[in-house]
């Protein structure tokens, strides 16, 4: 086991970690992973209702604080009050098709990132030797780039979400280059697991199986790097304890492509759905939907000697089991 792996497992104990976007799909799993490592976790949520729901889901005594991340002028005081050793920024706007406010997209996905980069260096603990900020980026930042997706590829994003997320990554990279701030962007790809938005693929399959109904789908030819959400949370913590370069971008993915059709068929089989209930073809592929080649994960492996290990069959099976234990709420 490498030094980085030892650090990622042990060094969070007793350290204060702030999670922004803690009530979101990935955020809840990051909070859970930090709690399991004994971190003093502070979860920032948009309103008290989100906080109560988060606590009920996790069953922990994580400290929940209500804060509007759109109030950028209050970021320095907020960070000064919390004084985190590390910040995980999972806040984002635009994944949901209903989120189309351009000003708000750039505020949350770009300006907030810049504000965090400017303020974190003033409050972080010198005892923490890992990253000060782990910012979550998106595969949408690559857009129409062809060939293997390596971190140095020039982004050609399609749509508001990808463009605004890329702007945030660039702002953080520039800030870190100027100051040496230990901050990185972890680019995520196609996530699945307990807590996904109801309209996404796996929740739709779960609901169709529960109701014993057929489900209209696209032809399913799109290739995706499907990554199980618990692996993503684990990877974010490991990257947070790594020695990545200031402003570095790292792909957090499996490096394996699977067609949407294969994923749906695997889920359908595990759920006991009749083959005829998976209706491939009636839906059209969205014009802004990303098509990409294999994702390069060499830098991820180099930094932390690890890549997401969960196979699709195992991730879907675990999600089915967790759903049966506690039906997922809408994590956004």
Q: Per-residue confidence at 287, pLDDT binned at 50, 70, 90? A: confident
Q: Cα separation of 35 and 27, whole Å?
A: 12
Helices 3-10 and 229-240, packing angle to 10 deg: 100
Q: Which residue has the tokens 């490096």?
A: 255
CB 87 within 8 A of CB 127: no
**Is residue 203 very low, low, confident or very high in pLDDT (cuts 50, 70, 90)?**
very high
Predicted local distance difference test score (pLDDT) of residue 331: 42
pLDDT at position 5, please?
39
Confidence band of 58 (pLDDT split at 50, 70, 90): low
Identify which has the larger pLDDT, 137 or 1. Answer: 137
CA distance linking residue 14 with residue 201, whole number of Å: 38
pTM for this predicted structure? 0.93
Closest CA to 117 of 252, 251, 247, 249: 247
- State the average pLDDT over residues 88-96: 94
Q: Which residue in the block uniquely carries the two structure tokens 């508001």?
A: 160
Take residue 209 and report the two structure tokens written for it.
């199986």
Residue 31 has pLDDT above 50, yes or no: yes
Residue with tokens 């050793």: 85
| Residue 178 in tokens | 């100027």
Mean pLDDT of all residues belonging to the chain: 91
| 55 vs 43: CA distance, rounded Å | 10
Residue pLDDT, tens place only, 222-263: 999 999 999 999 999 999 999 999 999 999 999 999 999 999
Beta-carbon contacts of residue 65 (< 8 Å; ≥ 6 apart):
42, 43, 44, 45, 51, 82
pLDDT at 59 over 80: no
Q: Cα-flanking dihedrals φ and ψ of residue 141, to 5°?
A: -65, -25
Share of the chain above pLDDT 90, in %: 78
> Whose CA is closest to 190, among 156, 139, 230, 262?
139
What band does 327 get if pLDDT is binned at 50, 70 and 90?
Answer: very low
Looking at residue 328, what is its pLDDT? 42
Please report the pLDDT score of residue 8 as a whole number.
Answer: 52
pLDDT surpassing 60 at residue 293: yes
Distance (Å, rounded) from C-alpha 148 to C-alpha 133? 27
pLDDT tens track for 97-124: 889 999 999 999 999 999 999 999 888 7
The stretch 139-167 carries a mean pLDDT of 91
CB 22 within 8 A of CB 90: yes
Distance CA 162, CA 155 (A): 9
> Is residue 332 over pLDDT 70?
no
Neighbours of 166 (CB within 10 A): 23
Query: DSSP states of 164-221 as a string?
Result: HHHHHHHHHHHHHHHH---EEEEEE-EEESTT--TTSHHHHHHHHHHHT--EEE----
Q: Give the per-residue pLDDT at 46.
A: 85
Q: What is the pLDDT of residue 276?
A: 97
Burial 61-80 (b: 16+ CB within 10 A, else e): ebebeebebeebeebbebbe
What does DSSP assign to residue 242? S
Cα-based torsion angle of the residue sequence 113, 114, 117, 118 in order, rounded to the nearest 10 degrees: -150
Are 300 and 234 spatial neighbours (Cβ–Cβ below 8 Å)?
Answer: no
Ordered domains of the chain (ranges, CATH):
3-190+226-255+293-309 (3.40.50.720)
pLDDT exceeds cutoff 50 at 162? yes
Q: Residue 232 is encoded by which pair of tokens?
A: 């993503």
């Amino acid at each position: 086991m490498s030094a980085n792996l030892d650090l990622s497992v042990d060094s969070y104990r007793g350290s204060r970690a702030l999670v922004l976007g803690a009530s979101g799909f990935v955020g809840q799993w990051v909070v859970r992973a930090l709690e399991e490592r004994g971190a003093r976790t502070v979860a920032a949520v948009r309103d008290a209702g989100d906080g109560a729901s988060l606590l009920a889901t996790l069953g922990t005594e994580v400290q929940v604080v209500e804060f509007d991340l759109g109030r950028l002028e209050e970021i320095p005081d907020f960070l000064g009050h919390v004084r985190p050793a590390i910040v995980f920024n999972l806040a984002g706007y635009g994944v949901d098709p209903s989120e189309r406010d351009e000003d708000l997209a750039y505020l949350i996905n770009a300006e907030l990132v810049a504000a965090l980069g400017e303020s974190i260096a003033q409050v972080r603990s010198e005892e923490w030797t890992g990253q000060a900020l782990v910012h979550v980026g998106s595969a949408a930042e690559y857009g129409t780039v062809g060939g293997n997706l390596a971190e140095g590829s020039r982004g050609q994003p399609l749509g508001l979400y990808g463009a605004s997320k890329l702007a945030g990554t660039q702002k953080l990279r520039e800030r870190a280059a100027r100051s040496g701030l230990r901050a990185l962007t972890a680019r995520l790809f196609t996530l699945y697991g307990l807590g996904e938005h109801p309209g996404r693929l796996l929740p739709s399959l779960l609901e169709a199986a529960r109701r014993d109904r057929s489900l209209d789908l696209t032809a399913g030819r799109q290739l995706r790097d499907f990554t199980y959400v618990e692996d993503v949370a684990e990877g974010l913590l490991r990257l947070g304890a790594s020695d990545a370069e200031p402003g570095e971008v790292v792909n957090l993915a499996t490096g394996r492509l699977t067609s949407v059709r294969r994923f749906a068929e695997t889920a359908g089989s595990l759920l006991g759905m009749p083959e005829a209930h998976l209706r491939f073809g009636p839906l059209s592929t969205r014009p802004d939907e990303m098509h990409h080649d294999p994702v390069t994960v060499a830098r991820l492996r180099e930094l932390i000697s690890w890549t997401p290990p969960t196979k699709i069959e195992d991730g879907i099976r675990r999600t089915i089991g967790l759903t049966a234990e506690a039906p997922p709420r809408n994590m956004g």
